[in-house]
A and B are shown apart, each in its own frame.
Chain A
Amino acid sequence: MNLKKSLIKLTSFCLAFGMISVTYQNCGSPDANNGGAVSSSADNGDIIPIPNTKTASIQRASRVLDNLVSCLGTGEPSNDARDAWQNNRGTISEEGLANSMTQPMAKALVSISAEVCDDLMNQERSLDVDQRRIFLEIDFDNGGVARSDLGLAAKRLARSCWGRNATDDELGMIISNIDSNFSSGEDNRDTTRLKAVYLCTAMAASFSTFEM
């Protein structure tokens, strides 16, 4: 499967998934205090604060790459990841106001996340299983990765970047999406690696990763 085509599909998925996440969680994950209370003025988009309530916000463009590298634990970003960030940061909110999310921004987050996830996959596939942190059950040298193994990786990714456990609904949605996007064609080493990057990107590009 062509990676670019796959990522375009993934973009659509993440947009939907991201929006669902936001809807579910009221601009953030359940760990956001009081659901991340925020409201916006119809006139100027300013945040109207609610007393003693954390104001929900999203990650600033300048910190998006750091945020991904930190939560995914890849140490330093690769040059490809830096390039993706540089090329896309202009479409991401500079200040990270919760009401500044746009569709181009969601796409930009997918592009950057995909590169950091590629870094993660490349790091982990060169490690012994007991040294890995996310893809412990996945054999990167063969096809036929099991849904349950992807599910375990998804759970770790949720605790890494979302800061919480993934719900069963979320896990089901993610795995089903992978199934549908990889239902045809060869099932080999490359497909396994692509699925890992795909899974990681779908979760890392979610707004839950960038809720601050």
Chain B
Amino acid sequence: MIWVRSVFLNSQKSKILLSLMAIFMTFPSLAQVSVNPSTTTGSMSFNLNSDQILSVRLQVTDADYTNEGQLFVNGQGPIELFDGVDSANNDKTIYFNVNIGNNQADWFNYNGARNDLEFRFFDDPQNAGVNDGFTIISVKPITELPKKVYDAVPVRTDGEISQARFKALDIYKRLVGVRVPIDHPILVEMEELVARGDLTGAAQIATNEPGFYNLVVRDFAARMSTRDQSINEEFNDFIATFIGVTRDDIDARQLLTGSFYYKGSIDAPVDADIMDDILGSNDHYQQLAGQNYDFATVLERENTQYIRTNNDDNYIEHPDAAGVITSRAFMGAHAIDGTNRRLVEYTVKQFACFDLEEWADATAPDTRVGPDIDRFPGGEGSKYLTTCKACHSVMDGFRGAFAKYDFDNNYVRYRTDGRDRNTNGNNLGQRIEISGIDNKMNQNHSTFSNGYITRDNSWINNARSPANVQKFGWRGVVSAGNGVKQFGRAIANSKAFSRCMTKKVYRELCRRPVASFETSMVESMAQSFESSGYKLKKLFEDIAVRPECLGVR
């Protein structure tokens, strides 16, 4: 069965008017309107008190051919409901907007007048599948989702300003990312807490402000999301998920292990097709940002990550989801081309805060180093031992976690089986193809044919020298594992993760990296972060009021 959720967006109505509409108008129960090969039309009517209809939003399951359904408005039409849909969506739930052109918008009656809608099953019923058809779940005008808007507050011409008010402003600026007038009521509220010595309480008020998410957490995550490590990265699934986890007080370790992500509310009039707008492009997130939506409100959690397989043009429930590591943004930055070593390097860099040279270990075993690494660069074995082995031993040990991944043609792809079924490998000269393993893992095989051939997604933790054990603070069984989720779990449970988040939050709020003389502060904050249940919002609040950050008057 195909389920359709259709929402008419009203951008012009005030919140008050729409609230009244919600009270006084009775919307049809759309479950009553089903359209299928045996019941080829379904009708409903409603009154629309809007000035303009901008879009119809659909949630559809099993939208598997283009002309599955049409909408007629007050006898005029059609509006194609499934334009652009293809067979890849068979038995899948997808979200998308039906674009209503200016001429089509004129078909609607406004100012409280009745509108008759007729949904029609379009394809030849004789040829349709038994599950084809759709049911309308709801049609209703909705309140426009909140945009990023700043308050206008009365301002005095003079009056003494207390030190507590100044401090409140400092806390606010750091946590919300912008200035507000010194007479702003929120500063007055924070001032009272500051005066009582409750700086954390003041910080908690600040983190309730949308700017905390829209600016501060956004920048914090943006810097981690791509190779450039720039705060100017456009809004993406990595950033959205970071914001959501912070807002919803979710254990931050799930950022490296969870099968979920955050996307815009279904009521947001942005493209939201899973295949085209979320997995295959950044359109969904770009449009959310471009339309200036308040991320603190508009983001909603999706409890399943999806991924496109490398074997066909379908997407599946992600078999190895690992939070933001398997996000499109992170994979797009690090799984594109290359050999997937960058995924290991940047996962450690962003979530344990170690550059590769910091955890390189020349004493680690190099049994996992791939065949593409020359053991005699320039004809000298010593050069490999002194300059290559240290990094590759630890990095290639973990690389197997990403053995099934590639970023190709705008999609993160997950290889569920190989082009051939030869699990021993099909030696093609420059590469060996292994079933279920992306070819990039065993490319340039002839460089050193005795190098490690990746045959599965197992990994070995070679970063377990005494120095690295001290550095990472590994916990639990982390000597080996399979896949990205287990790799992410090893990193997330390490002490390095909580220290790293502390350092990154400090840099974001305090506008400089942690200094060498502040090591004990990092240790203390990291412990507090762990004991709080890895709550990022609390970490932000705690660090913002530290004397190292705020200064001591």
Contact = CB atoms under 8 A, between A and B. Distances in A.
Interface string B523-550: 0000000000000000000000001111
A188 interface: no
B181 interface: yes
Interface residues of A, number: 44
A33 B552 contact: yes
Interface of A: 31-34, 37, 47, 49, 51-55, 57, 59-63, 66-67, 69-71, 73-76, 94-97, 133-134, 152, 155-156, 159-161, 163-165, 209, 212
B552 A159 contact: no
A54 B292 contact: no
Contact of B178 (A51, A66, A94, A95): A66
A66 B177 contact: yes
A159 B211 contact: no
A95 B178 CA distance: 14
Main secondary structure of the interface of B (DSSP, over half): loop
A52 B548 CA distance: 4
Given A73-B153, A133-B154, A212-B511, A67 B181 contact: no
Interface of B: 147-159, 161, 166-167, 169-170, 173-174, 177-183, 211, 214-215, 219, 230-232, 292, 510-512, 515, 517, 547-553
Contacts of B147: 76
A163 B182 contact: yes
A53 B518 CA distance: 12
Contact of B511 (A37, A55, A67, A164): A55
Contacts, number: 131
A55 B177 contact: no
A95 to B, nearest CB: 7
A54 B154 contact: no
A187 B544 CA distance: 49
Contacts of B158: 155, 165
Contacts of A49: 512, 515
B231 A62 contact: yes
Contacts of A63: 177-178, 215
B553 A156 contact: no
Contact of B211 (A31, A51, A66, A209): A66
5 contacts: A31-B161, A70-B150, A73-B151, A96-B511, A134-B155
A40 B103 CA distance: 61
A74 B292 CA distance: 15
Instruction: Please give me the 9 A-B residue pairs with the lowest Cβ-Cβ distance, nearest first.
Output: A33-B551, A54-B551, A73-B152, A57-B511, A31-B166, A70-B178, A155-B157, A160-B181, A70-B150
Contacts of A212: 173-174, 179, 511
A73 B150 contact: yes
